Amino acid sequence: MFYVFLFTLMCTSYAEKQEPFYLYTKRSPLKQLEILVQDHKITEKQFNTNFTSKTWKRKDGLMFNASSMIMEQNTAFRTQPSGGMLDSQYHGTPANMSMTLTHHKGSSTGNQNKEIYIGGLLDMEGDRGLRYGLSELTAAKVAVSHINNRQKLNGYTLRLLHNDSKCDPGVGTDAFYDLIYRRPRILMVIGSACSEVTETLAEIVPYWNLILVSYASTSPALSEREKYKTFFRLAPTDAANNPARALFLQHFRWNVVATVYENKEEFYLAMAELTPFLEQHNISVKVTESFGTKKGEITTKMKSLKDSDARIIIGAFSEPAARQVLCEAHRLEMYGARYVWLIIGDFVEKWWTMANDTDCSQEDLRSVAEGYFTVASFNTFNYGKGMSVANITFDDFQRDYLSLNGTTPMSPYATSAYDTVWTVALTLRKLLRKSNHLLDTVPYGDAGDMVTEMMRTVEGLTFDGLSGPVSFQGPDRRGLAVVKQNQGGHMVTVAMYEFDKEILNFRCPDCVDVHWSDGKVPKDKILIVMHRKVIEDSVFYVITSWCVVGIIAATCFLCFNLCKRKSR
């Protein structure tokens, strides 16, 4: 009993010193022991001397020895600020059974079956999560499966431990802490898709010497390296495509545009970056409107656009809001030959048919959506073209995705989620080749050098992903941009922006001609043109001759009247 008391006291005091908010309690003593051994607070010899006669009994009566419990790696328990413990499935009871210390499953000599863990914070609930979350999670699981099947980690097995951030910064933060304190040691984190959650997490993860890689956050604010020190993303920032947008507008000689956006941070920041950029390229923003969640607000803002005679309209909003905007555009007849819609953001295929959340029919929304444009990242391997780093085509990926019950339509960021896991795996692979110790045995607080090496590795990565070529410039992904148009319900590429040449190529191999509903390029405003009209020479001479004859006749009649004025 003395040893049990002494061990519990050591564990509690160490946990309180190292982790003031969450601590491991005497109900999970082997987890405490694992931490103490890893941090060299006690030696393995001391462990074998003092604790070789112990097993732990679960509340259902089943017995477990220390090794099997340590293998689980999930026996950490939180203590509330008031001191109350969360329930545990283990409580200590002495028994006569020896054991040897292992860190977790497969951590014996050699790397065979050794597991390393990464964390995932995905958005499974909320408006966005219900539409895209499961699709992106499935894509990440496909990537993990491909990495393990191809043994890309030098014999290690990659495991993804994921939590639901619910697209809420507070929930996302709690989910991250759960990964830290209730799970095995994680080496990197992927997620979130919501920019608000990602911004919060990106400020937190450096304190645990972790790198966060997002697959779908596009907010321009996340490009600030000084603030988000260990953050990367595979979704191109909204601002990264501004040069392509400006060249697209200039190509058709549109110098006056209007903007409308949803009152959310990611859309506000996108417009805040776009507006001055357009003005620098001699494109004036005639009117800017924003809308929130109040009923009738979209109607009011759209009428304002209509009254301003805006013809070229740039929109930034979520998918549900986009359907509301298009519905109002249909009522106001703001579509067809006179109007051009350029929408910021990637939506699923035929997104206007995905939900019945407007007063308009699908046919109404389809007629407005026909011909709209968007500027998106270039996906090299869509439609079965090209081989990715996994030596598969998009068709191969889609087959494996569906075999895991992936949802359809697929999220527009599913391939980015797949490539994000590969980014993490390739980073760990290079680090494993250089490292002479087990990465997962390094405490979070002592991993500063390791995360610095990881940062250098990520910044130097270059590979072909399913979502296109992957490389980084600072926290952002380098990439190609394409202009797409909705033609007959399908998004087709009409131009490609070449970053190195800073040109918009309308003759790229996969490009099709831009389609205009009346065969003519719409005008950005009403034009008042002064034309000088002339008549033919023959007509001029005939009319002049008759005028001369008329003048002569009038003169003669005048003279006759003057001469004969006294005659009766």
Residue 283 has a pLDDT of: 93
Task: Sketch the domain layout of the chain as residue ranges.
Answer: 114-235+384-478, 239-381+482-505
Residue 14 has a pLDDT of: 42
Residue 104 has pLDDT above 80, yes or no: no
Residue 385 has pLDDT above 70, yes or no: no
Question: ∠ CA(141), CA(144), CA(146), 5° rounding?
Answer: 110
Higher pLDDT, 37 or 134: 134
Using omega within 30 degrees of 0 as the cis cutoff, is the peptide bond preceding 361 cis?
no
d(CA 237, CA 283): 21
Question: Averaged over 429-451, what is the pLDDT?
Answer: 82
Whether residue 136 contacts residue 216, with contact meaning beta carbons closer than 8 Å, is answered with: yes
What percent of the chain clears pLDDT 90, i.e. is strictly above it?
Answer: 42
Q: How confident is the model at residue 401 (pLDDT cuts 50, 70, 90)?
A: very high
Residue 481 has pLDDT above 80, yes or no: yes
Residue 17 has pLDDT above 70, yes or no: no
Question: Averaged over 367-386, what is the pLDDT?
Answer: 73
d(CA 482, CA 486): 13
Measuring CA to CA, how many Å separate 394 from each of 217, 468, 481, 509? 22, 11, 19, 19
What is the average pLDDT score of the chain? 78
Question: Averaged over 363-377, what is the pLDDT?
Answer: 91
Q: How confident is the model at residue 23 (pLDDT cuts 50, 70, 90)?
A: very low
Question: Averaged over 271-300, what is the pLDDT?
Answer: 90
Backbone angles phi, psi at 284, to 5 degrees: -90, 145
Question: Averaged over 231-245, what is the pLDDT?
Answer: 87
Higher pLDDT, 80 or 233: 233
Report helix, strand or coil for 161.
Answer: strand
Higher pLDDT, 265 or 140: 140
Residue 175 has pLDDT above 90, yes or no: yes
Residue 53 has a pLDDT of: 40
Torsion of CA 219, 315, 483, 402, to 10 degrees: 70
Q: How confident is the model at residue 33 (pLDDT cuts 50, 70, 90)?
A: very low
Residue 378 has a pLDDT of: 67
What percent of the chain clears pLDDT 70, i.e. is strictly above it?
Answer: 77
Whether residue 343 contacts residue 325, with contact meaning beta carbons closer than 8 Å, is answered with: no
Torsion of CA 83, 86, 90, 94, to 10 degrees: 10
Measuring CA to CA, how many Å separate 6 from each of 26, 39, 153, 249? 11, 18, 40, 74
One fold for 114-235+384-478 and 239-381+482-505:
yes
Q: How many CB atoms lie within 10 A of CB 282?
A: 10
Residue 74 has pLDDT above 80, yes or no: no
Cα Rg of the chain (Å, integer): 34
CATH code, 239-381+482-505: 3.40.50.2300
Residue 179 has pLDDT above 80, yes or no: yes
The CATH number corresponding to 114-235+384-478 among 3.40.50.1820, 1.10.3720.10, 3.40.1010.20, 3.40.50.2300 equals: 3.40.50.2300
Least confident of 2-16, 103-117, 534-548: 2-16
Residue 386 has a pLDDT of: 58
Pairing of the two strands 256-262 and 231-233: unpaired
Residue 12 has pLDDT above 50, yes or no: no
Q: 57, exposed or middle or buried, with CB in 10 Å at 0-12, 13-18, 19+? A: middle
Least confident of 79-88, 104-113, 171-180, 299-308: 79-88
The conformation of residue 137, written as its DSSP 8-state character, comes to H
Question: Averaged over 3-31, what is the pLDDT?
Answer: 40
